[in-house]
């Protein structure tokens, strides 16, 4: 039970002023500009956009500033703002096969059509602090490869030519994907609904679950078929027009996991898929999402559900960091009535316990005296 908090308005107002003061910090230090955050803390901005379900870099940067760098609070702010926006419609499904690729790596084939592009990555850095960054030193311009861009078919398409991987899950007929921002979650879920929830799930939670699948808690041995990062176009169908209207482009990260599968009476031996897609550059999140997606397909593929990562209700119900934060932090709210009730109960139980102890000791003393 909760009780209303009366009074304290002045204290709350002053807490807000104190928060604003701490957020600003030393007045002699220049205030952060949004363009600085967008350009120099881009991966943090990408995470807020992805888990906040709103692709807007400046709004994500504003949320990071307002939240004093608390990423989950920033995600909460973006989610709240998102609910105030009108919805004009749904775009066509993006075609990641036509992506303007900035980074593309595969752990399955060394030589791919279109080649592999390392792009901007921490993978080959030495993880040593760079003192020069503290001084704001000059940064060299990156080298640009000349020539026309080559086609970059997905690794899954290469395997599909030989029938070595399951179909891509094309939607049949007039199937309309669900929308978790408009409809309450129900279990069991269709895969499209589950992927939406995973895409905006907490990166740390999904990373831990994905890691668990690698340590034997799901018996899932994956290969990174491909991770690609780049720009994709958005197109909207307008009833009055015979063609789709381009709306612009967004940066996304896509991961296709290739997983072992021995086959069954109904399916020949083939690889199966795990899929991840998130806003911005976040390949760790996309890979963790793909691992969880494959683990959650256990029932669909006739596998035993033996691990937490394979339990759909457990994973989806606990992956949303905004919901998790709300439930954990609500413990700070007044629970005076509940606590007083339990306090009274403990006191009565202790009194009963002490009474039994005293009675027992009295009987022992009486027996000793006899």
- Same domain for 153 and 296, yes or no, is yes
- Same domain for 54 and 203, yes or no, is no
- Same domain for 59 and 35, yes or no, is yes
Chain center to CA of 196 = 10
Strand partners, 274: 257
Below-50 pLDDT ranges, the chain: 1-3
Is residue 339 in a domain? no
Angle between helices 203-214 and 283-295 (to 10 degrees): 60
- Same domain for 175 and 305, yes or no, is yes
- Same domain for 309 and 210, yes or no, is yes
pLDDT at residue 102, as a whole number: 93
pLDDT at residue 302, as a whole number: 85
- Same domain for 169 and 309, yes or no, is yes
> How far, in Å, CA of 139 to CA of 145, rounded?
19
pLDDT at residue 173, as a whole number: 60
Is residue 327 in a domain? no
- Same domain for 57 and 172, yes or no, is no
Query: What is the per-residue pLDDT across 256-272, written as a single tens digit (0 to 9) for each?
Result: 999 987 777 777 888 99
> How far, in Å, CA of 90 to CA of 98, rounded?
20
pLDDT at residue 198, as a whole number: 98
> How far, in Å, CA of 311 to CA of 299, rounded?
9
Is residue 277 in a domain? yes
Is residue 30 in a domain? yes
DSSP state of 181: T
Could you give the number of structural domains in the chain?
2
pLDDT at residue 3, as a whole number: 46
pLDDT at residue 145, as a whole number: 73
Instruction: Show which of 296, 321, 346 is a domain's final residue.
Output: 321
Is residue 89 in a domain? no
> How far, in Å, CA of 331 to CA of 9, rounded?
21
pTM of the model: 0.91
Is residue 1 in a domain? no
> How far, in Å, CA of 182 to CA of 201, rounded?
17
Q: Where in the sequence is the domain holding 310, given as residue range(s)?
A: 96-119+149-321
- Same domain for 63 and 104, yes or no, is no
- Same domain for 181 and 71, yes or no, is no
Instruction: Show which of 321, 345, 360 is a domain's final residue.
Output: 321
- Same domain for 155 and 200, yes or no, is yes
What number of other Cβ atoms are within 10 A of residue 116's Cβ?
Answer: 15
pLDDT at residue 1, as a whole number: 39
pLDDT at residue 4, as a whole number: 52
- Same domain for 154 and 279, yes or no, is yes
What DSSP line would sit under 288-350, residue for residue?
A: HHHHHHHHTTTTTTT----SGGG-HHHHHHHH-HHHHHHHHHGGGS--HHHHHHHHHHHHHHH
- Same domain for 69 and 109, yes or no, is no
Is residue 328 in a domain? no
């Amino acid at each position: 039970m909760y009780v209303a908090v009366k009074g304290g308005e002045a204290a709350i107002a002053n807490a807000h002023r104190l928060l604003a003061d701490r957020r600003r910090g030393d007045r002699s230090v220049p205030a952060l500009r949004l363009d600085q955050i967008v350009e120099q803390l881009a991966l943090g901005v990408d995470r807020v956009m992805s888990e906040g379900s709103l692709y807007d870099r400046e709004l994500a940067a504003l949320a990071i500033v307002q939240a004093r760098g608390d990423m989950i609070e920033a995600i909460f702010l973006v989610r709240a703002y998102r609910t105030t926006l009108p919805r004009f419609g749904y775009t066509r499904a993006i075609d990641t096969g036509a992506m303007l690729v900035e980074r593309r790596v595969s752990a399955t084939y060394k030589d791919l059509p279109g080649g592999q592009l390392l792009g901007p990555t921490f993978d080959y850095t030495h993880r040593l602090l760079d003192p020069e960054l503290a001084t704001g030193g000059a940064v060299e311009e990156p080298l640009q490869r000349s020539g026309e861009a080559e086609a970059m078919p997905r690794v899954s398409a290469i395997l599909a030519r030989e029938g070595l991987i399951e179909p891509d899950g094309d939607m049949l007929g007039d199937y309309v994907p669900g929308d978790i921002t408009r409809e309450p979650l129900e279990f069991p879920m269709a895969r499209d609904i589950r992927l939406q929830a995973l895409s905006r799930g907490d990166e740390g939670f999904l990373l831990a679950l994905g890691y668990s699948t690698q340590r034997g808690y799901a018996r899932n041995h994956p290969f990174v078929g491909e991770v690609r990062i780049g720009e994709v176009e958005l197109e909207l169908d307008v009833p009055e027009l015979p063609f789709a209207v381009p709306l612009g482009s967004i940066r996304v990260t896509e991961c296709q996991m290739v997983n072992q599968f021995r086959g069954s009476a109904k399916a020949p031996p083939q690889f199966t898929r795990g899929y991840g897609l998130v806003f911005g550059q976040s390949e760790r999140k996309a890979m963790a999402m793909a691992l969880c997606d494959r683990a959650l397909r256990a029932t669909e593929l006739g596998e035993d559900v033996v691990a937490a990562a394979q339990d759909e209700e457990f994973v989806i119900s606990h992956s949303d960091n905004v919901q998790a934060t709300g439930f954990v932090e609500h413990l700070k709210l007044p629970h005076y009535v509940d606590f007083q009730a339990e306090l009274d109960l403990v006191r009565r139980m202790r009194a009963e316990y002490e009474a039994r102890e005293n009675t027992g000791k009295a009987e022992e003393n009486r027996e000793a005296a006899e």
